[in-house]
Amino acid sequence: NVPCRGVGGDYYDYFLRDDGLLALTIADVAGKGIPAALLMTSLCTAFRGEAEGRLSPARIAANLNAALGTRIAPGRFVCFFCGVWDPASGLLRYCNAGMDPPVLFREGTAWQHRLRKGGPVLGAVRDHDYREGALTLEPGDRLFLHTDGMTDQRNEEGEFYDEERLYRSVTTNLDKDPAPMLDEVFTGVQHFGGEGEGDDMTAMMLEIKALSKNEKSGPLLAQAAWDRVDDRGLPSGEYPLKPPRK
């Protein structure tokens, strides 16, 4: 396992549970500076504790929302997405609490699916029951997750990069492995936004590959799941692009 990752007001994490399932999350804490960083750190610790307890994504979101509701400052909230993926069956269970919906790209088709089920942002509505979505990921699928710092980048004319541009960039680079693909996507966003002070940007890519016979159980299954995730984060105002490496 690796420590959770923070990029400014963004937070993202993924780790293998003891049962071999991959837990992942991406979140955007409203606000800047030390208060946002402290809230992000608390969220990181709380998510790991909830996910390691083998709770469902919807229950994780509900518990985090309840915990935040008692300590979060007025006007603050957290956009949050979490999922639990079973690499043996391909089943992904997820809950989206106000995040830009992650997008599933299916190999060889123009089909895209946005993961929307969940509920409101964390910290906004106390005692809310969150919904859970589920879908089976197939070999060749890629799941792209990102914070709104990517689509909120503006050019000199004041135009937003927006989802259409972002997803077009992802689609154009799907022939690349996840790491260089994310590099290209980030570079495109930066070139569009120029040298201005933008928002923090974070993205993750989960690539689904067919498991070999030896990978279908035990330690090799866990390693196979781990090898299928890549990520990039870029704090606001950091140029040129220097993506962190694991």
> How much is the pLDDT for 219?
44
- 105-111's contacts with Cβ under 8 Å and 24+ in sequence apart are 105/141, 105/142, 105/143, 105/144, 105/170, 105/171, 105/174, 106/138, 106/140, 106/141, 107/138, 107/139, 107/140, 107/141, 107/142, 107/174, 108/140
Contacts of 99 (CB under 8 A, 6+ apart): 26, 27, 28, 79, 80, 81, 145, 147
- Distance from C-alpha of 54 to C-alpha of 70, rounded to nearest angstrom: 24
> How much is the pLDDT for 56?
94
**For residue 142, how far is the Cα from the chain centroid?**
13
Return the structure tokens found at 166. Answer: 């972002």
Residue type, 238: E
List phi, psi (to 5°) of 46.
-65, -40
Q: From its phi and psi, is residue 54 left (phi > 0), alpha (psi between -120 and 50) or beta?
A: left
- Edge-first strand listing for the sheet containing 103-105: 112-114, 103-105, 142-146, 201-207, 229-234
Residue 133 DSSP class: E
CATH entry, 5-234, from 3.40.50.920, 2.102.10.10, 3.60.40.10, 3.40.50.2300: 3.60.40.10
> How much is the pLDDT for 239?
31
Q: What is the mean pLDDT of each run of 10 residues along the chain (246 residues)?
A: 51 85 89 71 87 93 88 82 90 96 87 92 89 92 89 85 90 89 88 67 83 54 51 43 32
> How much is the pLDDT for 243?
31
> How much is the pLDDT for 58?
97
Domain ranges of the chain: 5-234
List phi, psi (to 5°) of 228.
-95, 5
- 33-52 helix and 57-69 helix, angle to the nearest 10 degrees: 140
